[in-house]
Every structure is written in C-alpha cells, then in structure tokens.
C-alpha cells in the first residue's frame, strides 16, 4: 500500500506547474487615485486628434476623428494606415465605452486642444493633441496629469 502511494507522490512531484495567467501591462502605481473630467462638451471634443504620446501597446501613430452623436461619438481611427470606424458611447461623465474597453478622459485643456486619456487598470494611457505640434506648456501639463493620476512617466513613449 505504501509503495503505490510513494509512486503517486513522486509522479505528482514531477507534474508541471500550471502556466501563470498572462500579465496585463500596468503603467500606474497601485492604489494611486485617478479621476475623469466631470464636464465634457461633446461638440468641442469632436474633431481631429493626433496621438502624440502613449504607453507601449497603443498604436504609436494613431490619428482619429470624433463626431459627436446622441450619447457618444463616431470614431474614425487610422493606426499606421489601417482605418477603422467604431461607435463609442458615453457611460459616465468623462468616460467613453469603446470596443477595447472604457477610456477615462483625465484632462482636457480649456481650449479643447490637448487631452489625456487612460484607464484605472493602468494598461493604457495617451496624450492627444489637435495636431502634431504641441506647445511645451501643454505637453508639460499633460505629462503632469499622467503623473498625478499615478502613471509612470518613464514608460511614456513620445512621438516626435
């Protein structure tokens, strides 16, 4: 009786451990507060945007055009020449439901020229501007917003 148990124990010891769950990138400090804008003027947020900085995993050369519509936006995206059209809906103040998940608008400058978006999970963060040329003061402000919301600025990739 002891020999079969010993053989079973040896066999179990040789078994391979299960593969760990795939890790999701996390560019935010654990427990860091994060908040979305309370007031969003959809008409002013509409229009063309250029992604000027992002965390790894996001399209590095994305351009998009948002068109306001009842309860959200029509998003026409161009990532490295690949064009897609998506329906985005507003789920809460400053929060947009997309096919890829919920985006939080962390900040928009007063003129609606620069925006910072991210997710509480920390797996996504971008800086959008109306064109490729962003003034130094707004770039600095956008980076400070990411930092304030717990993002690691050392991993931010800026498109120059």
Q: What is the mean pLDDT of residues 122-147?
A: 97
User: 160, 62, 154, 134: which is closest to 103 by C-alpha?
Assistant: 62
9 vs 50, residue with greater confidence: 50
Mean pLDDT over the full length of the chain = 89
Q: Are 88 and 97 in contact (CB under 8 A)?
A: yes
In this prediction, residues 55-59 reach a mean pLDDT of 91
- Helix then strand count (H, E) for the chain reads 3, 9
| Domain ranges (residues) in the chain | 42-158
pLDDT for position 14: 46
Q: Which of these, 70, 137, 72, 149, lies nearest to 107 by C-alpha position?
A: 149
* Fold classified for 42-158: Lipocalin (2.40.128)
User: In whole angstroms, what separates CA 32 from the centre of its chain?
Assistant: 16
pTM of the model: 0.84
Least confident span in 6-10, 83-87, 130-134: 6-10
């Amino acid at each position: 009786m002891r020999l079969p148990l010993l053989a079973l124990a040896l066999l179990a010891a040789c078994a391979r451990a299960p593969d760990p769950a795939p890790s999701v990138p996390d560019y935010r400090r654990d427990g860091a507060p994060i908040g979305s804008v309370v007031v969003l003027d959809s008409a002013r947020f509409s229009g063309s945007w250029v992604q000027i900085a992002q965390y790894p995993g996001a399209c590095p050369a994305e351009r998009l055009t948002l068109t306001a519509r009842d309860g959200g936006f029509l998003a026409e995206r161009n990532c490295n020449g690949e064009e897609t059209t998506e329906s985005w809906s507003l789920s809460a103040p400053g929060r947009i439901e997309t096919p890829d998940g919920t985006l939080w608008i962390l900040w928009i400058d007063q003129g609606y020229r620069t925006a910072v978006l991210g997710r509480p999970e920390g797996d996504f963060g971008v800086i959008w501007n109306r064109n490729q040329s962003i003034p130094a003061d707004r770039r600095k402000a956008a980076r400070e917003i990411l930092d304030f919301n717990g993002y690691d600025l050392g991993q931010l990739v800026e498109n120059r």
